[in-house]
């Protein structure tokens, strides 16, 4: 249904000026419901993200945390050389405004794309496992299978070392999640 959305182009005239860059009005900067217990929040979020990771792992038969394929799913995973892929998979994005966060994302973004683009969009998403087999052959012909670029390892390592990359790993995860619904209803997203 998303194809239906109108780009509203918001015809209201006042909105054409660029984002105000000055410091936010202090009256708007406020904490609404008292102090946040960051430890608790961290635990909550971690639990949720772990759950999502498990779901994604099961549906892609891939261990995203360790970047290892899992046995016995619908997919057969193989390595590809990143040189065989279009360069937008390895090219850094246009702007890297915030240093650490963004770069962290990129690396994993990249991997996330690898893992799902190769499988998901090389052909029409497989509706069943037989189709999947034939799809594998084709995608091998076209551009081989994914090989993780060097940055991958850094992502895996840093995941353990500090929190911000935790989310990074899960972005990776859910990227593939994003493609999952496509299988059941390919029309939906485009």
Partner 1 sequence: MEHQLLCCEVDTIRRAYQDVNLLNDRVLQTMLKAEENYLPSPNYFKCVQKEIVPKMRKIVATWMLEVCEEQKCEEEVFPLAMNFLDRFLSVEATRKTTLQLLGAACMFLASKMKETVPLTAEKLCIYTDNSIQPGELLQMEVLVLSKLKWDLASVTPHDFIEHFLSKLNIHHNTKQILRKHAQTFVALCATDVNFIASPSSMVAAGSVVAAMQGLYLKSQDSSLSAHNLTNFLSQIIRSDPDCLRSCQEQIEALLESSLRKAQQYSVSTETKHAEEEVDLSCTPTDVRDINI
Handedness of CA 92, 98, 100, 104 (dihedral sign): negative
Q: Residue 172 CB, nearest distance to partner 1 (Å)? A: 10
Q: Which two tokens stand for residue 123?
A: 């052909």
Residue 33 or residue 87: which is nearer to partner 1 going by CB?
33
Closest CB 62 distance from partner 1, rounded Å: 17
Q: Cα–Cα–Cα angle for 103, 48, 151, nearest 5°?
A: 25
Q: Is 36 in the site for partner 1 (CB under 8 A)?
A: yes
Question: What's the min distance (Å) between Cβ of 32 and partner 1?
Answer: 5
Residues 112-151 contacting partner 1, CB under 8 A: none
State yes or no: residue 49 binds partner 1 (CB under 8 A).
yes
- Choice from 18, 66, 94, 150 touching partner 1 (CB under 8 A): 18
Residue (2 or 141) nearer to partner 1, CB:
2
Residue 24, interface with partner 1 (CB under 8 A)? yes
Q: What are phi and psi of 63, to 5 degrees?
A: -85, 100
Q: What is the Cα–Cα distance from 177 to 173, expressed in whole angstroms?
A: 6
Q: Is 4 in the site for partner 1 (CB under 8 A)?
A: yes
Q: What is the DSSP letter of 83?
A: G
Instruction: Name which of 1 and 150 has its Cβ closer to partner 1.
Output: 1
Instruction: Count Cβ neighbours within 10 Å for each residue of 152-186 and write b for 16 or more, e otherwise.
Output: beebbebbeeeeebbbbbbbbbbbbbebbebeeee
Kindly give, in sequence order, each residue whose CB lies less than 8 Å from that of residue 31, ignoring residues fewer than 6 positions away: none
The answer to whether 65 contacts partner 1 (rule: CB under 8 A) is no
Under a CB-based contact definition with an 8 Å cutoff, are residues 126 and 74 in contact? Answer: yes
CA atoms within 13 A on the CB side of 149: 19
Q: From 10-18, 74-82, 125-133, 145-153, give the range in contact with partner 1 by CB under 8 A.
A: 10-18
Q: In the complex, which residues of this chain contact partner 1 (CB under 8 A)?
A: 1-2, 4-20, 24-25, 28-38, 40-42, 44-45, 48-49, 52, 97-98, 101, 163-164, 166-167, 170-171, 174, 177-178, 181, 188
């Amino acid at each position: 249904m998303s194809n239906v959305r109108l780009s509203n182009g918001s015809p209201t005239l006042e909105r054409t000026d660029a984002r105000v860059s000055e410091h936010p009005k202090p009256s708007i900067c406020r904490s609404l419901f008292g102090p946040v217990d960051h430890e608790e929040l961290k635990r909550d979020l971690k639990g949720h993200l772990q759950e999502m990771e498990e779901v994604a792992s099961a549906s892609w038969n891939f261990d995203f945390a360790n970047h290892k394929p899992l046995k016995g799913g619908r997919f057969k995973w193989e390595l590809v050389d990143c040189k065989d892929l279009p360069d937008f998979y390895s090219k850094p994005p246009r702007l890297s405004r915030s240093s650490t966060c963004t770069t962290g994302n990129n690396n994993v973004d990249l991997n996330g794309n690898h893992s799902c683009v190769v499988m998901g969009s090389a052909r029409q998403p497989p509706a069943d496992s037989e189709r999947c087999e034939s799809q594998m052959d084709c995608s091998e012909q076209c551009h081989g299978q994914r090989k993780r670029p060097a940055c991958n390892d850094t992502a895996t390592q840093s995941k353990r070392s500090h929190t911000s990359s935790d989310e990074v790993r899960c972005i990776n995860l859910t990227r593939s999640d994003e493609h999952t619904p496509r299988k059941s209803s390919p029309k939906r997203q485009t």
